Amino acid sequence: ILAAVQERSRSGLGQHIDTALLDVQVAALANQAANYLVGGLVPRRMGNAHPSIVPYQSFPTADSDMILAVGNDGQFARFCQVAGRPEWAQDERFATNPQRVKHRAELIPLLRQTTVLRTTAEWVGALEQADVPCGPVNRLDQVFADPQVQARGIHVDLPHPLGTVATVASPVRLSATPVQYRMAPPLLGQHTDDVLRDWLQAETAPAATAP
Tens of pLDDT, residues 3-54 = 999 999 999 999 999 999 999 999 999 888 998 999 998 988 999 999 899 9
What architecture is the 56-137 domain classified under in CATH? 2-Layer Sandwich (3.30)
Which residue would you say has higher pLDDT here, 86 or 186?
86
Indicate the angle between helix axes 120-129 and 73-83, nearest 10 degrees.
130
Tens of pLDDT, residues 111-122 = 999 999 999 999
β-partners of residue 163 are 160
What average pLDDT score do residues 194-207 get?
A: 76
Instruction: Provide the mean pLDDT of the chain.
Output: 93
Q: Per-residue confidence at 2, pLDDT binned at 50, 70, 90?
A: very high
β-partners of residue 57 are 68
CA atoms within 13 A on the CB side of 84: 6
What whole-number percentage of the chain has pLDDT above 90? 76
- What pLDDT does residue 209 have? 52
Q: Minimal CA–CA distance to 67: which of 75, 55, 79, 76?
A: 55
Stretch(es) of the chain classified as CATH 3.30.1540.10: 56-137
